[in-house]
Amino acid sequence: MGAVHTGIPREMAVAIGAMLELADFVEGGTHHGITAAWAAASFERVTSIERSPTLYSMAQAACGHLRNVDLRLGDTRTVLPALVSSLTRPAMFWLDSHWSGPGTAGEDAECPLVAEISAIRGSDLDHVILVDDARYFLAPPPPPHDWRAWPSLGEVLRLLGAPERCWTFVLDDVLFALPSASRARLAPVLQLRAAGDAATLAERLAARKPGRARAMVERLAGPFRAKRS
């Protein structure tokens, strides 16, 4: 699955956005506005939806002043359909609106992903969809989450329209659904990323067990270094 780390894999998101010429970034679940503020520097227009009035106000204070950030107070299940209809070009959707414990919205409807994907797939445009916390769909989410509120991986893939409509993979705990036609261009970029990860891992291992790891470092890191230079 790759490393589990919190938040959007920024380099990958920027690379995909640039390669597919995506101008719009739409986020479900603003929380404190950290991702919205970051996305404002990489996308022409950022729209982020938050159901909790308190978190919405906090995000307004944090990034509401940015000229290309549009924060909306509401439930993605009701806000997204009209928002998707208003788009005239493919966008990147960062779907991260789910109940995340005390102080966040959604305890009564923990995971709105089914409605969100259905709204996005109501459009003919080839949108890019990134779903955070992929591990919660690969297996039932841990307590105190109510597993019945979370779709299974199979349901998510079916709603996304995989494999005909999109190319799906999981990286850094994020489920990516990209237009099928983009695979030939983007897969080599992901290979470089995988090679980089393997090289870093091997280098760390080499620091602890030089004898055993030297050959592995050369095998993995060598070609990657050559490609980079």
For residue 99, state whether it binds ligand SAM (rule: CB under 6 A).
yes
Q: In this chain, which stretch among 10-18, 69-77, 144-152, 185-193 interacts with ligand SAM, using CB under 6 A?
A: 69-77
For residue 172, state whether it binds ligand SAM (rule: CB under 6 A).
no
What are the backbone dihedrals phi and psi of residue 50, each rounded to the nearest 5 degrees, phi first? -135, 135
We find the least distance from the C-beta atom of residue 219 to ligand SAM, in angstroms, to be: 36
Binding-site size for ligand SAM (CB under 6 A) equals: 25
The interface with ligand SAM within residues 10-39 (CB under 6 A) comprises 27-29, 31, 34-35
Q: Is 104 helix (H, G, I), strand (E, B) or coil?
A: coil
For residue 9, state whether it binds ligand SAM (rule: CB under 6 A).
no
For residue 47, state whether it binds ligand SAM (rule: CB under 6 A).
no
Residues 187, 189, 193, 199: what is their CA dihedral angle, to the nearest 10 degrees?
A: 100
44 touches 19 (CB < 8 A): no
- Nearest residue (CB) to ligand SAM, 110 versus 199: 110
CB neighbour list of residue 169: distance below 8 Å, 6 or more residues apart = 175, 176, 190
